[in-house]
């Protein structure tokens, strides 16, 4: 089966570079599945899990603040953070989650509210992937 | 002339000082190597994001994104990257002096500009002079992660989007080589030089559309530029500190040499004097 090269890059360095048969991820406009030979595409990603499939194997990554660049044989995911399940610090994510929840409940001004919401999303996403 | 004992104490203390500067030199050397690696591992990200941003900016001429358009400058933002600790030679003073001069030339009152500062040295410098610091990040790690600077970067970009500032300039030391770092000032926002970048020529489909992608992408791009400057600055900091410590060690060597010479001279003088006294004594007896 045909494969495409996937590389995941963050400001702290490359996270992963390998061949996969399919990439599926959640863009701002909805779920996207990329197979080899896809037309060139750019789409921003939500804070979500990216699934990389190879036969029956599949890998999951938690990404936030990223976007996806697709070329026929290559997919590049640029994200401000991208973590494999083994990189995720569960304790920290749990702490971040409870902190964000507290903040959301104490209803402060809009900016803090938005920020807490984003933090909560990131934490839940991480826990989801480890989960 | 100082006594023998005084000179001896001085030699000993200079030797101790040299041990410390030598150790700091080696610590900085290893930190500098790490910092250089960080700069290299950041390169793929920055190149890619620049490529994508440039290709979108070029393929669509009539984009109306505030981050790309210049507007009348009522308030300027200055972002300056300094270190938290001293003993880095001219690292901090040169970048601070340059920024201070620019501000003095361009602005008459403190209402016309704001300063965003990374590093304690810069923070105290501007605070002492009562200049408006709106944001600061202190105690950055020697090998900072993107997460460490993310908040500062995104808040700064947000200030521009909210029109609290109308342009953003960044001041930092650019790392050229171990012995040479150059104070660099760059205009970060609005992003004006996107059209210059090299483009791979591939045309993309945009999902949902170009403008919405730019809305997400440009802040990320600006943040990545800030992070890149920080990494560059950190590499320069360690290089500057290493060079400063090396010249301090060299200096200590020189002082030890001089002192040893005068120590020997003083010792010889004392011996000569003693002999003269004895001979004088003997001559008096005859």
Q: Is residue B6 domain-resident?
A: no
Q: Is residue B8 domain-resident?
A: no
List the single residue in A with minimal CA-CA distance to B208.
A29
* Stretch(es) of chain A classified as CATH 1.20.5.440: 88-130
Provide the Cα torsion A91, A93, A95, A98; round to 10°: -140
Provide the shortest C-alpha distance from residue A67 to chain B (in Å): 8
A12 touches chain B (CB under 8 A): yes
Q: Is residue B67 domain-resident?
A: yes
Residues whose CB is less than 8 angstroms from the CB of residue A48 and which lie 6 or more positions away in sequence, other chains included: A25, A26, A63, A125
CB-CB contact of B263 with B7 (8 Å): yes
Q: What was the pLDDT predicted at B168?
A: 92
C-alpha closest to that of A90 among A51, A71, A62: A62
Q: Is residue B261 domain-resident?
A: no
All residues of chain A having their beta carbon less than 8 Å from the beta carbon of residue B234 are: none
Rg (CA), chain A: 16
Domain extent, residue B44, equals: 26-243
CB contact under 8 A, A9 and B216: no
CA pseudo-torsion sign B198, B200, B157, B152: negative
CB contact under 8 A, B44 and A9: yes
Kindly report the CATH number that applies to the domain delimited by A88-130.
1.20.5.440
List the single residue in B with minimal CA-CA distance to A32.
B207
Facing A69 at nearest CB: one of B46, B52, B227: B52
CB contact under 8 A, B48 and A76: yes
CB contact under 8 A, B48 and A78: yes
Facing B208 at nearest CB: one of A29, A40, A65: A29
Mark which residues 182-201 of B lie under 8 Å from A by CB: none
All residues of chain A having their beta carbon less than 8 Å from the beta carbon of residue B213 are: 42-44, 67
Q: Is residue B61 domain-resident?
A: yes
Q: What was the pLDDT predicted at A89?
A: 86
CB-CB contact of B213 with B206 (8 Å): yes
CATH of the domain at B157: 3.40.1380.10
Facing B146 at nearest CB: one of A12, A27, A29: A12
Q: Is residue B155 domain-resident?
A: yes
A69 touches chain B (CB under 8 A): yes
Q: Is residue B180 domain-resident?
A: yes
Facing A9 at nearest CB: one of B45, B204, B205: B45
Q: What was the pLDDT predicted at A90?
A: 86
* Stretch(es) of chain A classified as CATH 2.60.15.10: 4-83
CB-CB contact of B52 with B224 (8 Å): no
Q: Could you read off the pLDDT tens digit of each residue along chain B, which spans 286 residues?
A: 568 899 999 999 999 999 999 999 999 999 999 999 999 989 888 888 888 888 777 776 666 777 877 888 888 999 999 999 888 888 999 999 999 999 999 888 888 899 999 999 999 999 999 899 998 989 888 888 888 888 888 888 888 888 888 999 999 999 988 888 899 998 888 887 665 555 555 677 887 777 788 888 888 888 889 999 999 999 999 999 999 999 999 999 999 999 999 999 999 999 999 999 999 999 998 8
Q: What was the pLDDT predicted at A111?
A: 64
User: Which is higher by pLDDT, B135 or A108?
Assistant: B135
A125 touches chain B (CB under 8 A): no
Phi, psi (deg, nearest 5) at residue B90: -90, 10
B60 touches chain A (CB under 8 A): no
Instruction: Decide yes or no: CATH 2.60.15.10 for domain A4-83.
Output: yes
Distances (CA, A) of B275 to A28, A70, B266, B270, B279: 96, 92, 14, 9, 6
Listed in sequence order, the DSSP H helices in chain B are 4-59, 91-106, 120-128, 146-161, 210-285
How many whole angstroms separate alpha carbon B70 and alpha carbon B23? 49
Facing A41 at nearest CB: one of B44, B205, B224: B205
Q: Is residue B260 domain-resident?
A: no
How many whole angstroms separate alpha carbon A2 and alpha carbon B149? 40
User: Which is higher by pLDDT, B88 or A109?
Assistant: B88
User: Which is higher by pLDDT, B277 or A85?
Assistant: B277
Distances (CA, A) of B59 to A128, B236, B277: 38, 37, 97
pLDDT (tens digit, 9 = 90+) per residue, A21-49? 999 999 888 888 999 988 888 888 999 89
How many whole angstroms separate alpha carbon B113 and alpha carbon B103? 8
Domain count of the fold of chain B: 1
């Amino acid at each position: 089966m045909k494969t495409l090269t996937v590389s995941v890059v963050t400001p702290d360095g490359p996270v992963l570079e390998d061949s996969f048969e399919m990439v599926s991820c959640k863009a701002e406009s909805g779920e996207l599945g990329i197979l080899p030979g896809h037309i060139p595409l750019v789409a921003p990603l939500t804070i979500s899990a990216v699934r990389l499939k190879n036969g029956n194997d599949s890998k999951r990554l938690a990404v936030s603040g990223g976007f996806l660049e697709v070329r026929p044989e290559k997919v590049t995911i640029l994200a401000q953070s991208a973590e494999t399940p083994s990189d995720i610090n569960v304790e920290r994510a749990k702490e971040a989650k409870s902190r964000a929840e507290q903040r959301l409940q104490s209803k402060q001004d809009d900016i803090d509210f938005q920020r807490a919401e984003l933090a909560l999303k990131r934490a839940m996403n991480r826990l989801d992937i480890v989960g | 002339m100082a006594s023998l004992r005084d000179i001896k104490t001085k030699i000993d203390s200079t030797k101790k000082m040299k041990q410390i500067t030598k150790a700091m030199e080696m610590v900085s050397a290893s930190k500098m190597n790490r910092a250089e690696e960080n700069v290299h591992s950041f390169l793929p990200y920055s190149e890619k994001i620049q490529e994508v941003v440039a290709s979108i900016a070029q393929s669509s001429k009539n984009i109306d994104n505030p981050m790309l358009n210049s507007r009348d400058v009522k308030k300027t933002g200055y972002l300056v990257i300094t270190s938290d600790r001293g003993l880095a030679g001219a690292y901090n003073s040169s970048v601070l002096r340059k920024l201070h001069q620019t501000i003095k030339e361009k602005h008459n009152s403190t209402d016309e500009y704001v300063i965003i500062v990374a590093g304690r040295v810069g923070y105290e410098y501007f605070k002492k002079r009562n200049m408006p610091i709106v944001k600061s990040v202190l105690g950055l790690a020697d090998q900072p992660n993107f997460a460490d600077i993310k908040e500062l970067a995104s808040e700064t970009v947000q200030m521009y989007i909210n029109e609290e500032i109308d342009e953003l300039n960044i001041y930092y030391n650019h790392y050229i080589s171990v012995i040479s770092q150059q104070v660099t000032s760059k205009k970060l926002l609005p992003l004006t030089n996107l059209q210059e970048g090299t483009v791979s020529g591939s045309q993309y489909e945009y999902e949902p559309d170009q403008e919405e992608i730019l809305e997400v992408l440009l802040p990320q791009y600006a943040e990545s530029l800030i992070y890149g400057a920080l990494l560059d600055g950190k590499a320069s900091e360690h290089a500057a500190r290493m060079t400063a410590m090396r010249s301090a060690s060299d200096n200590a060597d020189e002082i030890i040499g001089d002192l040893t010479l005068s120590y020997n001279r003083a010792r010889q003088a004392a011996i000569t004097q003693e002999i003269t006294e004895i001979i004088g004594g003997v001559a008096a007896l005859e």
